[in-house]
């Protein structure tokens, strides 16, 4: 694999929907790329709070941006599908990142896996709150989330106590 080929392949993530939302009648769900963006932002802040170091936080962010790249080849399989279909995520990532700079990214994904897993679940929680405006059943994806990091656990508590539409206050003309 080469960097140019990887970039063209990863561009397809903008067109791959997060499939679980279809099961709950969300007709135009977020793409894998959109999910990865917010997951990266969340991982940055978890990393910053966990390590107290912007460089470590940036590395966690990079790991999160790349965490679902295998879905460019496998698509985003709903967890029900995963009961019947085995995806070798490691094999795909190994092939995709099989060039010098790619190996650096692979190491980051491994090193920051706890932060990335927490960020991934927190992004799912946030999206479930947003989509619950359209279908209350979407809240099921935000329940029973188990997190690994201290910061992730604190953040999910704060998110549960925050109105997901707070920013609409800016829309009110004064």
Positions of the chain with pLDDT lower than 70, given as ranges: 173-174
Give the fold, CATH level 3, of 3-171: Hypothetical protein af1432 (1.10.3210)
pLDDT digits 0-9 by tens, 42-53: 999 999 999 999
> pTM, whole model, 2 decimals?
0.95
Task: Say how far apart CA 130 and CA 136 lie, in whole Å.
Answer: 10
3-state DSSP call for residue 17?
strand
With a CB cutoff of 8 Å and minimum separation 6, the contacts of 47 are 56, 57, 58, 59, 60, 61, 112, 115
pLDDT digits 0-9 by tens, 117-136: 999 999 999 999 999 999 99
Beta bridge partners of 31: 17
Residue in the structure block whose two tokens are 């997901």? 164
């Amino acid at each position: 694999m080469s960097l140019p080929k990887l970039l063209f392949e990863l561009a397809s993530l903008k067109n791959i929907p997060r499939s679980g939302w279809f099961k709950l009648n969300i007709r135009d769900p977020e793409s894998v790329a959109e999910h990865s963006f917010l997951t990266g932002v969340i991982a940055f802040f978890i990393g910053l709070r966990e390590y107290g170091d912007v460089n470590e936080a940036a590395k966690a962010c990079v790991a999160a941006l790349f965490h679902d790249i295998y879905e460019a080849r496998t698509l985003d399989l709903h967890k029900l599908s995963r009961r019947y279909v085995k995806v070798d995520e490691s094999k795909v990532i190994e092939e995709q990142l099989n060039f010098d700079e790619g190996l650096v990214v692979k190491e980051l994904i491994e090193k920051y896996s706890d932060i990335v897993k927490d960020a991934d679940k927190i992004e799912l929680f946030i999206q479930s709150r947003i989509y619950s405006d359209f279908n209350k059943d979407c809240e099921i994806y935000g329940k029973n989330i188990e997190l690994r990091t201290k910061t992730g656990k604190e953040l999910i508590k704060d998110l549960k106590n925050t109105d997901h539409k707070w920013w609409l206050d800016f829309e009110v003309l004064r």
